[in-house]
Amino acid sequence: MPAKAELYRTAARVLGTLDKSGWILRYRYGDRRLLEDVVLPALDRDDEVASVLLIGCAWYTRHYPDLLPGTDVTTMEIDPAKAAFGGAQHIVANMADIVEHVAPESLDAIVCNGVLGWGLDQPEAVESAFAGAVACLKPGGLFLLGWNDISPRNACPPDTIAALSHLEAVDIPGLQTHSLIALERNQHCYQAWRKPLTA
């Protein structure tokens, strides 16, 4: 663990230096580009969004807080070594334990991309994570999910997650659709929901 953490810290320093020079290394696939170029900027332009939780960190997400300059951004990642790629406000935790780290009804938006099916796999943990996310959203808060609709990553598809049934399907920020396959290669899908204003 210490060796991996040091490797990630070194990578984060190097990438940070490149970022400051204006040369930002990005993940090349279209699903990430859509998130970075369209969805997150649209979320930042939303006057109703002041606080955002980004769940899941890697070298290619390190600049995501910078794409939301008008919001209070917190990042969350289960792997402590990847904290180097998190934002200034970072939580090391499993999403299934979100309610232990985030106050109820305190967030305007949660972005959970590349987590479902990539470590968050067991139905009980998925339900705990998503129910917790719903509890942490303010009424009217947005939940954006990115997941791969391909085996074995789709063992718990969103339409089987009871916690999401309490939300209203809405358009993805910046797009005029609730659901979009953003990358055919791995069937990476974005979907968005909003917590009702009244219970």
Residue 147: CATH number of its domain: 3.40.50.150
Q: Are 134 and 166 in contact (CB under 8 A)?
A: yes
Residue 79 inside a domain? The answer is yes
Question: Which amino acid is present at 59?
Answer: W
- Residue 110 within any structural domain of the chain: yes
pTM score, two decimals? 0.91
User: What ranges in the chain are assigned the alpha helix state H?
Assistant: 2-20, 30-34, 40-45, 123-136
Give helix then strand counts, H and E, for the chain.
4, 8
Residue 41 falls within a domain, yes or no? yes
Burial class (CB in 10 A: 0-12, 13-18, 19+), 103: exposed
Residue 103 lies in a domain: yes
Question: How high is the pLDDT of residue 18?
Answer: 67
Q: Give the pLDDT of residue 24.
A: 73
What domain range is 127 assigned to? 2-194
pLDDT digits (tens, 9 = 90+) for 111-145: 999 999 999 999 999 999 999 999 999 999 999 99
Band (pLDDT 50/70/90 cuts) for residue 84 is very high
Q: How many independent structural domains does the chain possess?
A: 1
Q: Is residue 199 part of a domain?
A: no
pLDDT band at 172 (very low <50, low <70, confident <90, very high): very high
Tell me whether residue 37 is in a domain. Answer: yes
For residue 124, is it within any domain? yes
